[in-house]
Amino acid sequence: MNKPIIISDIEQGTEEWQELRKGIPTASNFSNIITSTGKPSKTAKTYLYKLVAESIIGVQEGYTNEAMQQGIETEELARIEYEMDTGFEVEQVGFVYLDDKKEVGCSPDGLISVNGHGGVEIKCPQPHTHVSYLLDNKLPTNYIAQVQGAMYVAGRSWWDFFSYCDGLPNFRVRVQRDSLFIEQLSTMLEIFVADLKAVKKHLTEGKYKRCIVELKEKRSVSNSQNAYLHLILSWFGLETGLTLNEAKQLYKIINCDIYEYSKDNNVFYKSVNELDTNEMTQTIEMFRNYSAEEADVYLPEPDDRRFLQEIEVRASQDKMYLRSGQ
């Protein structure tokens, strides 16, 4: 097994915890790299883009609805229920790295130092979901990659999946380490991390520095150019899974030669409205080329009105996307 690095003195959910996991693949998202059957996931490219953007601009605040928030708030009670059910003492840790490279990690709900060393994944789902777990009586398919991935990262031989819903019987299933699946996961992670490094290097080496945004007096970018840029960034986000804010940041990073400037030994980025018409045209064309070559996403030309109208309708209908782009 690997030699994991366990970070115990940082609490999950804090800014320090976000910094530990920023820009690296983590077990909760391993399903974006490998499917439950051990095949490469079709969402790997989208996940890679998210991590690249995250490593450069920081972690963007995610969408949380009422049910998700309730699950977060109930987790501590569920952990106590698990300890009472099993008699195990759950060790809470902040983060676990796969090894000293610190390129892969996980945030376990708990580690357990008995019976060959294990761990626990705790869920507090809605009642109908919990009932389905009770009836199926097995590890839910959509958590196979996460649970096996947590065992791989943390170097554990077993992992409990525990679901708690007030008023219903608790659900617990023990999952043993699947050596074949973990071997496949390890190979895919190695490839994914190599690709991740290559893309980060392509976008940032010698060009990007963490910048301070400074607004200046607006210049001569037309409203039509602004509207067009907004639509193609919306389409790029919808096609790749990025939020609108993430797509905007990626567009600026790709065009950092135009957006970046220095002042008083600090590096700043211009706002979109500080560009002149020619600069705006150049940056848009650069992003369209990047989108086609690197992301395999075609972005319409300014005179392709029908396509642009379709994008506008699609973006306005996708409320989750619009919310995440605010």
Q: What predicted TM-score, i.e. pTM, was given to this entire model?
A: 0.66
3-state secondary structure (DSSP) of residue 127: helix
- How far apart are alpha carbons 211 and 214 in whole angstroms? 9
What amino acid is encoded at 190 in this protein?
A: E
Cβ contacts of residue 324 below 8 Å, gap of 6+?
60, 62, 63, 243, 244, 245
230, 109: one domain: no
3-state secondary structure (DSSP) of residue 326: coil
211, 158: one domain: no
Q: What confidence score (pLDDT) does residue 223 get?
A: 67
Choosing from 134, 162, 197, the residue where a domain stops is 197
129 in any annotated domain? yes
202 in any annotated domain? no
| Count of domains forming the chain | 2
Choosing from 197, 224, 251, the residue where a domain stops is 197
Question: Domain range holding 44?
Answer: 5-197
DSSP alpha helix (H) spans, the chain: 15-21, 44-57, 66-86, 127-136, 144-154, 179-204, 223-240, 244-254, 256-259, 277-294, 305-317, 319-324
- The CATH number of the domain holding residue 13 is 3.90.320.10
- The CATH number of the domain holding residue 212 is 1.10.3790
230, 126: one domain: no
72 in any annotated domain? yes
Per-residue pLDDT 10s for the chain (326 aa) are 789 999 999 999 899 999 999 999 999 999 999 999 999 998 898 899 899 988 888 765 543 445 545 646 789 999 999 999 999 999 999 999 999 999 999 999 999 998 779 999 999 999 999 999 999 999 999 999 999 999 999 999 999 999 999 999 999 999 999 999 999 999 999 999 999 998 888 777 644 444 333 333 334 456 688 888 989 999 998 888 888 888 888 888 888 878 777 776 666 667 777 788 888 888 999 899 888 888 888 999 888 888 888 888 887 776 544 444 43
Q: What confidence score (pLDDT) does residue 293 get?
A: 82
22, 51: one domain: yes
- How far apart are alpha carbons 110 and 89 in whole angstroms? 9
91, 119: one domain: yes
DSSP 8-state code for residue 114: S
84, 143: one domain: yes
75, 156: one domain: yes
46, 162: one domain: yes
56, 190: one domain: yes
Cα 14–Cα 19–Cα 22 angle in degrees, nearest 5:
120
127, 98: one domain: yes
DSSP 8-state code for residue 71: H
33 in any annotated domain? yes
183, 240: one domain: no
